[in-house]
Amino acid sequence: MSTPRSVTPTRRGILAAGGALGIGALLAACGGDKSSGDAKSGAKNGAWSFTDDRKVTVSLKNVPQRIVAFTGTAAALHDFGIDDQIVGVFGPTKLKDGTADPQAGGLDVDKVTIIGNAYNQFNVEKYAGLSPDLLVTNMYEPGALWFVPDDSKDKITQLAESVALTSSRVPLVKIIERYAELARSLGADLKAKQVTDAKARFEKASESLRKAAASHRIKVLACSGSPDLFYASNPGISADLMYYKSLGVDLIVPDHLDKGGYFESLSWENADKYQADVLMLDSRTATLQPKDLAAKPSWAKLPAVKSGQITPWSSEPRFSYAGSAPLIEALAKAVENAKKVS
């Protein structure tokens, strides 16, 4: 993606900051290498185990019934049929007007307890009060729990077991398959119509994108805008971009990547370094959108901008067939309709 995904000071500087309280006596009150294929399939009761992408095997006496998860993670599990077990979320969940953030997907955001609505706003006391069985989140860097603040991580992980699934350096479809495995272990029926229909839509969308990319040889740049910098993303590390590239999309590869490898940060004066026919612009609520960028002369001069060939990019995709299919459809349409302008 264009803005940093790894849990680094640079990344955190882009995201909103907050605070988390200590938990004191609540810690005491809330006590309590196999393949992932060993996880109980579709079980609702009985012993449960799952090996996550840290190669950590989590084992519990019963299938988790009180799950707290990163918002996008919870939304992906919801797409696979895990709903009532999700009691709390952390991460972008509600917009300022009270409606659901896009990362929440089909979650009922009024039904779950919001532990924190932005980075570093993880309320540890509220989390402890939910008596969680399991915490689930993404992992953009090895061992780093996404949106779990480092300064309170030790307290948080004492309250319940955690599962982390990788979210980068592996093609999108592989990560979706891992989420499906986790959902199945938690009791989801992967043969349910909502799941099979979503998978069929995903596969159809992928084929449409493959055909569009083959018939329209245009250059695409995945990017993001902040007040001071323009980020050109690396399709060799972001899961969704890796997948799109495998389908034939000609995604521009930045030649001077920042630490972490996710993107190249450019001053706005150098925003035209990479000439693209289509811009995939980061659509997250924390990033600048076309209306916000209109006043920047260097943005207005980009060929894709002058031609109106900008398509929204969900740079933190929902790792489910239902969450990803619409994104692929939108990109296929953008490529199909694009003209060579660079």
Q: Residue 81: pLDDT above 80?
A: yes
For residue 142, which of 117, 121, 167 has the smallest C-alpha distance?
167
- pTM comes to 0.86
What pLDDT does 2 receive? 37
CATH topology assigned to domain 196-337: Rossmann fold (3.40.50)
Q: How far is it, in rounded angstroms, from Cα 128 to Cα 271? A: 45
The pLDDT value given to residue 290: 94
pLDDT at 26 over 80: no
pLDDT digits (tens, 9 = 90+) for 283-297: 988 899 999 999 999
Superfamily (CATH H level) for 9-189: Nitrogenase molybdenum iron protein domain (3.40.50.1980)
Q: For a pLDDT cut of 90, what percent of the chain falls above it?
A: 83
- pLDDT digits 0-9 by tens, 122-150: 999 999 999 999 999 999 988 899 999 99
pLDDT of 157-178, one tens digit each? 999 999 999 999 999 999 999 9
- The domain ranges of the chain are 9-189, 196-337
What average pLDDT does the segment 33-59 reach?
72
Tell me the residue type at 146. Answer: W
pLDDT at 44: 61
Q: Please classify residue 298 by burial: count the beta carbons closer than 10 Å to its beta carbon, then call 0-12 exposed, 13-18 middle and 19+ buried.
A: middle
Taking CB atoms within 8 Å and a gap of at least 24, the contacts of 303-307 are 303/275, 303/276, 303/277, 303/341, 303/342, 304/221, 304/276, 304/277, 304/278, 304/279, 304/341, 304/342, 305/279, 306/341, 307/277, 307/339, 307/341
pLDDT, tens digit, 9 for 90 and up, residues 181-234: 999 999 999 999 999 999 999 999 999 999 999 999 999 999 999 999 999 999
Radius of gyration, alpha carbons of the chain:
20
Among 17-26, 44-53, 61-70, where is mean pLDDT lowest? 17-26
Q: Look at residue 20 and tell me whether its pLDDT is greater than 60.
A: no
First CA to last CA across the chain, in angstroms? 22
Are the CB atoms for 8 and 260 separated by under 8 Å?
A: yes
Mean pLDDT of the chain: 88
9-189 with 196-337: one CATH topology?
yes
Residue with more model confidence, 63 or 260: 63
